[in-house]
Amino acid sequence: MVTFLDVIENIYPFTTDVQYFQSLVSQQHAHGGADEPENSLQALIEATKYPFRQNANRVVIWITDATYHENDTYTSLTKNDVITALLSMGLIVHAIGPESNKSSYYDPIIIPTGGNFYDIYGNFRDILLDISRFYSSSKYVLSYQSLSSQLPAEIKLQIRYAGLGGEAIVFPIGTTFYKSSRYLAFYPNPFNPQITFNVEKGNYLGGELRIFNLLGQLIKTINIDNNTQSIIWSAQNDNGDLISAGLYIVQLVLNVKNELQYFETAKILYLK
């Protein structure tokens, strides 16, 4: 845990002692207010220095009611410096703050890292439950033994956790296509002027890399075959026009046997 005002106040190390951590949290109180901005950027940099386990879900919960110093007398850091450091460590940042600061101060940092924004006036129990539920695991492998010798065309899957959940129709695709890792990788993110997509070879019959803006409009389609490994995109749409800076959604669609498709989605940020 890192606490801060205009300067970093405390940096508490990781601990496995739950009661000790609860006591640290209970000692925190609002003080020194009415003098925005504060030094959130330096605090986020300190978070990147924690000794996370190699395979851990690396999540930062950033709680603040203020804007932040940037490249001034309190810090030489910029948003891009912090984003680069967070991405290099694989940290996902969730922000809890006032709605009025969301678009200008919190979104530029949480969106590239894949985090969410939560209103500071919301119910903290529900906020923490949402964060823990969403990132407790990003992938599950389910197996079952059927009494039938035929592979079903579809299976209805129901999931319930902490009173929440839902149901979905899933399509079994056999064991030959399963992999423990994702097929799509990309770097750098954020990017300017180019980003490289790597598509891992696998048991698929080709597909597409689709890029959408936040309005859901398809702006770029790149065809993929089983020999495609590296794609360099220079931030141009299908008409050859340079796109605007901002957040975009990448969708990898791979065609599998029997007209089934495999999907992956990711967020990328184009900076100018």
- Domain assignment present for residue 165? The answer is no
pLDDT of residue 132: 77
pLDDT of residue 143: 56
For the chain, state the CA radius of gyration: 22
12/120 same-domain check: yes
Q: How far apart are CA 59 and CA 66, in angstroms?
A: 21
Q: Is the dihedral of CA 209, 172, 135, 96 positive or negative?
A: positive
Q: How far apart are CA 234 and CA 78, in angstroms?
A: 25
State the pTM of this model.
0.53
- Domain assignment present for residue 162? The answer is no
Residues 40 and 74: beta-carbon distance below 8 Å: no
In sequence order, what E strands does 121-234 have? 155-161, 164-170, 184-187, 195-199, 207-212, 218-224, 230-233
101/30 same-domain check: yes
203/111 same-domain check: no
pLDDT of residue 114: 80
- Answer with the one of 72, 104, 135 that is the final residue of a domain: 135
8/114 same-domain check: yes
Q: Which residues pair with 209 in a beta bridge?
A: 222, 252
What lies within 8 Å, CB to CB, of 215 at 6+ separation is none
79/192 same-domain check: no
45/119 same-domain check: yes
- Answer with the one of 135, 165, 196 that is the final residue of a domain: 135
pLDDT of residue 267: 85
- Domain assignment present for residue 173? The answer is no
Angle between helices 40-47 and 79-88 (to 10 degrees): 20
14/104 same-domain check: yes
- Domain assignment present for residue 18? The answer is yes
- Domain assignment present for residue 161? The answer is no
11/120 same-domain check: yes
- Answer with the one of 97, 117, 135 that is the final residue of a domain: 135
198/118 same-domain check: no
- Domain assignment present for residue 164? The answer is no
The number of beta carbons lying within 10 Å of the beta carbon of residue 133 is 13
pLDDT of residue 205: 80
- Domain assignment present for residue 261? The answer is yes
What CATH number corresponds to the domain at position 48?
3.40.50.410
What CATH number corresponds to the domain at position 261?
2.60.40.4070
Distance of CA 86 to the CA centre of its chain: 11
- Domain assignment present for residue 153? The answer is no
pLDDT of residue 169: 55
8/105 same-domain check: yes
Domain that holds residue 252: 184-270
Residues 3 and 44: beta-carbon distance below 8 Å: no
User: Domains in the chain: how many in total?
Assistant: 2
Please give the order of strands across the beta sheet that includes 184-187.
184-187, 195-199, 230-233
Written as six digits, the tokens of 261 are 């498709």
The pLDDT profile of the chain, 272 residues, written as one tens digit per residue, is: 999 888 889 999 999 999 999 999 999 887 766 677 999 999 999 999 999 887 788 899 999 989 999 999 999 999 888 988 888 888 889 999 999 999 889 988 888 888 889 999 988 888 888 887 655 444 455 555 555 555 555 566 666 544 455 555 555 544 333 333 467 888 888 888 899 988 887 777 888 999 988 777 889 999 988 776 789 999 999 999 999 888 888 888 888 766 667 778 888 888 87
